Structure 1
Amino acid sequence: MIFGRARAKAAPMTELTTLERLAATIESRKGGNPNESYVAKLFDRGPDYAARKMGEEAIETVVAALAGSDEELVGEAADVIFHLAVLLSARDLSIHDVMAELDRREGVSGIVEKASRTSE
């Protein structure tokens, strides 16, 4: 179990492999035909559009968390991760960059880590 309660079919390292496959698929669709690929359409419209789609999915995830079923929340969370991966790629970043940042933060108090990012 990585986060929350374990699901019967989830293996601890499956998520990383899934994220790597997702990132590879997204990269392979860069420059593709926007009429044939949703990912290519997101790239074609640029990082600003990808950011707006990410925001929409984040809001839908919050709504599902507050008023939806577990299945709805899981589906919306998947949409957030997908659109985040597209947005990162549109900015020439990857999920690996995010994982490296999470690794850097591991073992550091959230309060201490957040304080290190504020310039106050």
Structure 2
Amino acid sequence: MSDRIIREVYQVLEERRDSPINSYTSRLMQDDNKQAEDKILEKVGEEAAEVIIASKNNENLVPEAADLIFHTLLLLVYKGVDLDELYGEFERRRG
């Protein structure tokens, strides 16, 4: 599997940021700037905690990790970070 699905999710998030429809992610990104960022950061923290619990309990790790990655991508879109910047960072660390 390639990075195609990550790019597709990222593109959908960008579309929902730029042309909001009535969806969870659109509502999250359309709140007043301070509130939106706080809500997104809260979700990232919540999902990170759920990954830890899932790992400790040896259950639901993959779905919880997907939630964490999704909300992290949401944060990157909200902050205007291009996905290629993230991939570039991984490339630099690979060396």
Shorter-chain TM-score bucket reads: 0.7 to 0.9
Q: Which runs of 5+ in 2 are unaligned?
A: none
- Percent identity of the aligned residues? 31
The alignment yields a C-alpha RMSD, in angstroms, of 1.3
Aligned length: 90
Q: TM-score normalised to the size of structure 2? A: 0.87
Matched, 1:83 2:64: no
- Considering only CA atoms, is the larger Rg found in Structure 1 or Structure 2? 1
- 2:83 equivalent in structure 1: 95
Q: Does the CA contact (< 8 Å) of 1:85 and 1:94 recur in 2?
A: no
Within the candidate set 24, 27, 42, 2:14 is matched to: 27
Q: Which runs of 5+ in 1 are unaligned?
A: 1-10, 108-120
Q: TM-score normalised to the size of structure 1? A: 0.70
How far has the Cα of 1:61 moved from its partner?
Answer: 0.6
- 1:51 equivalent in structure 2: 41
Per-residue Cα deviation, 1:3-22 (whole angstroms, up to 9, x for no partner): xxxxxxxx3x2xx1111001
Matched, 1:104 2:86: no
Relative contact order, CA 8 A, sep 6+: which one is greater? 2
Amino acid aligned to 1:37: S
Q: Hey, which of these two has a bigger chunk of helix by percent?
A: 2
How far has the Cα of 1:96 moved from its partner?
Answer: 2.2
Amino acid aligned to 2:23: S
